[in-house]
Amino acid sequence: MERKHTNHLIHETSPYLLQHAHNPVDWYPWGDEAFQKAKGQNRPILLSIGYSACHWCHVMERESFEDEKIAALMNDLFVNIKVDREERPDLDEIYMNAVQMLTGRGGWPMTVFLTPEGKPFYGGTYFPPEDRYGVPGFPKILQGVANAYREKPQDVERSVEQILAALQRMSLSTESQQPFSSDIIGQSAEQLAQAYDTDHGGLGKAPKFPNVGVYELFLRHYHHSKKSRFLEMVTHTLTKMAQGGIYDHLGGGFHRYSVDEKWLVPHFEKMLYDNAQLVRIYAQVYSVTGEPLFKQVVDETMNYLMREMLHTEGGFYSTQDADSEGEEGKFFIWSETEITRIVGEESSEIFCRIYDVSEEGNFEENNILHPILTLEQASKFFRRDLREIESLVSVAKGKLFQEREKRPKPFRDEKILTSWNGLMLSGLAEAIKISRQPAYLEAANRTVDFIFTKMFRDGRLLHTYKSGTGKILGYLDDYAFLAAGLLDLFEATVNRAHLDRALELAEIMLHEFWDEAGGGFFYTGRSHERLIAQSKPIFDGSIPSGNAVATQVLLRLYHYTGKEDYLKRAEKILRAYYNAMENQPFGFAHMLAALDFYLQKPKEVVLVGENKDPETGELLAKIHSLYLPNMTLQLASPDDSLEKVSSLLAGKKQFEGRPTVYVCHNFTCSRPVVEWDELKLLLDA
């Protein structure tokens, strides 16, 4: 009978840690117990960081952590700590920086060797179980590192000192002395456009990532300059992604990235943060172009998120795996025979032609569904009426979706992360503007309530919630992304409670994370445990940089409140990273968006009317239908004294008892406007 191991991860809530709770490795969670053991036995620490949707993390677990011999070696030589990077992004950020310094590259699973004080001296990413492709096997690495720690303490100490000094330098910045260029957004957009793939959309060649921040920057530049090339790059990319295998054509939602340049073969995991950001950009581009495909993608992706990823009480789950039944993508792929059996011979011929399904397949002898003919082309090709083709495809997709639902589903990581839910609220706000679907508003309100009921304790946000437990003090991203999401919701719903909460979060964020010496925000706050370094995230990755979003929040709040402190701190951050923005715009798309807001100054739109008045609602809906990246929007009751909303509005009131709009910009306000045509001219100007 097989012996069932249990290690110290058995008491954790993270699904990823619980997946490792029965490995023969004597895993500990990050905490005092592991460090005390390492110090008491003078043993180095093996820190392994991964996450549940990571394919190679599962591979390394299968090959090494479930292998009795390798596990025995790990237990003999090290104290072993397992960390879920989504639960502890602070640790991931610090030790990933260390691994990149040591090896020139990073990724997951990440394996870092530490002194008993938690200081890194060696590391890497995935290690195979035996020597392979010129890479030494994991057992060799384990013995080599343990020997070095015992026999060459001076070398270990030197390595530690160099890494720590480099980590400290990473959080330093120098304020730019040059004036902000009014053309920096245009220059940055031009620079980024050089990497554009004119054939397939997206940036660079394979692998292709969504890079939403860059397209938001292109859209802003188009909005100001009216250079159609920048809108075309965005619409072309979004169309190619929506027609590619990276998009789930049966269930909605996007996979993580495409391994090829054509967006055909995805890495099949689905992440909340990708889908949240993609809903937002597709909705924004729909408001610019009116292209029905973009609204369809928003609605299908929202349906996926609400069907698969929404906790019953509110709050969205984190990820769905790429693998099911031990195979990557198995849940999502089809054979031609299967499709013919499910939809019938006649429909199958047409459906398979449209969706690139063949006997030989387009992915490992199976098929990833993606349209290669439009419905109009199929109508001509098969000499069938367009409505007939539309109906046939719709029925076939419905049948295939129902059949797919019977398959074993990929594992879902049901952690609820505050930061990613903040991004989701921003996506929901844009979806609400273009769709007016009550379900979207309800999901947004339930999510806000959930976070402030379950994930806000003693005046502080918590980072993660799972199985009834909220834990780990919030990071910069939790405060910045949630505050931004609340501001977006405020502008989409004019519900003032969202603005009040965003203001509350901004005050805590400034108190907890602000660097008094150098400006900018640290990733961890004053109330956090002390780590070997304090990082200050400034680059966008798969999610925006916390400092960029925090800067946007401060600037927006300044224009709502007139509080100078918000403006000064935002300016300090923009000044600190201005030179870096100029030199490498790719990592700074969201910071450049903040700078654009600062330089252009927003149109401050105040609608004076009763919330329940249909005419007020109609005007609001029309304002929401426009793409206005630099705008603040609020509703004031006709009974309010308008100088409370803004000193610029002192003495102003409703015109002829009708819903009335004032548009203020750069310290001057328009005359009162009641007709949409006139208002649209003011907003478009």
Task: Give the model confidence (pLDDT) of 459-474 as tens digits.
Answer: 999 999 999 999 999 9
Domain extent for 372:
332-406
Tokens 């001509």 found at: 380
**pLDDT for res 489:** 98
- pLDDT (tens digit, 9 = 90+) per residue, 414-461? 999 999 999 999 999 999 999 988 999 999 999 999 999 999 999 999
Give the torsion through C-alpha atoms of 213, 217, 222, 224, to 10 deg: 140
Same domain, 318 and 447: yes
Residue 176 lies in a domain: no
- pLDDT (tens digit, 9 = 90+) per residue, 563-611? 999 999 999 999 999 999 999 999 999 999 999 999 999 999 999 999 8
- Angstrom distance (rounded) from CA 156 to CA 400: 57
Question: Among 15, 11, 10, 130, which residue's Cα sits nearest to residue 417?
Answer: 15
Same domain, 592 and 641: no
pLDDT band at 172 (very low <50, low <70, confident <90, very high): confident
What is the overall mean pLDDT for the chain? 95
Indicate if the pLDDT at residue 476 is higher than 70: yes
Residue 232 lies in a domain: yes
Percent of the residues in the chain that have a pLDDT greater than 70, as a whole number: 100
Indicate if the pLDDT at residue 550 is higher than 90: yes
Average pLDDT, integer, range 231-258: 98
Domain boundary residue, one of 406, 422, 442: 406
Same domain, 469 and 341: no
Question: Among 375, 370, 464, which residue's Cα sits nearest to residue 419?
Answer: 464
Residue 1 lies in a domain: no
**Roughly what angle, to the nearest 10 degrees, separates helices 272-289 and 418-435?**
20
**Strand pairing class (270-271; 319-320):** antiparallel
CB contact at 8 A, 554 and 569: yes
Average pLDDT, integer, range 498-505: 98
Indicate if the pLDDT at residue 5 is higher than 90: no
**pLDDT for res 643:** 80
Average pLDDT, integer, range 653-661: 90
Residue 178 lies in a domain: no
Residue 14 lies in a domain: yes
Same domain, 312 and 346: no
Same domain, 21 and 134: yes
Indicate if the pLDDT at residue 403 is higher than 90: yes
Q: What is the DSSP string of 305-371?
A: HHHHSB-TTS-B--EE-SEETTEETTTT-B-HHHHHHHH-HHHHHHHHHHTT--SS-SBTTBB----
Same domain, 18 and 112: yes
**pLDDT for res 646:** 74
Average pLDDT, integer, range 130-148: 92
- Angstrom distance (rounded) from CA 263 to CA 256: 11
The identity of residue 501, as a single letter, is: R
Domain boundary residue, one of 565, 581, 600: 600
Same domain, 466 and 516: yes
**If you ran DSSP here, which 8-state letter would residue 643 be given?**
G
Say whether pTM exceeds 0.85: yes
pLDDT band at 1 (very low <50, low <70, confident <90, very high): very low
**pLDDT for res 3:** 54
Residue 2 lies in a domain: no
> 583: burial class by Cβ within 10 Å (0-12, 13-18, 19+)?
exposed
The identity of residue 663, as a single letter, is: V
Same domain, 206 and 149: no
Indicate if the pLDDT at residue 2 is higher than 70: no
CATH number for position 643:
3.40.30.10
Dihedral sign from CA coordinates of 98, 100, 103, 109: positive
Domain boundary residue, one of 539, 571, 600: 600
- pLDDT (tens digit, 9 = 90+) per residue, 363-393? 999 999 999 999 999 999 999 999 999 999 9
**If you ran DSSP here, which 8-state letter would residue 137 be given?**
P
Question: Among 213, 217, 241, which residue's Cα sits nearest to residue 230?
Answer: 217
CB contact at 8 A, 215 and 234: yes
Considering only 263-272, 318-327, 337-346, 627-636, which range has the smallest mean pLDDT? 318-327
Indicate if the pLDDT at residue 79 is higher than 70: yes
Same domain, 161 and 189: no
Structure tokens at 606: 């105040």
Q: How many domains does the chain have?
A: 4
Q: How many CA atoms lie within 13 A of 163 on its CB side?
A: 28
- Angstrom distance (rounded) from CA 557 to CA 483: 10
Q: What is the DSSP string of 212-266?
A: HHHHHHHHHHHHHH--HHHHHHHHHHHHHHHHSTTB-TTT--B-SEESSTTS-SE
CATH number for position 489:
1.50.10.10
Same domain, 369 and 480: no
Residue 487 lies in a domain: yes
Indicate if the pLDDT at residue 281 is higher than 70: yes
CB contact at 8 A, 301 and 308: no
Same domain, 130 and 257: no
Instruction: List residues bridging with 158 in a β-sheet.
Output: none
Three-state secondary structure call for residue 201: coil
**pLDDT for res 47:** 98
Phi, psi of 538 (to 5 degrees): -125, -20
Same domain, 419 and 510: yes
Indicate if the pLDDT at residue 74 is higher than 50: yes
Residue 552 lies in a domain: yes
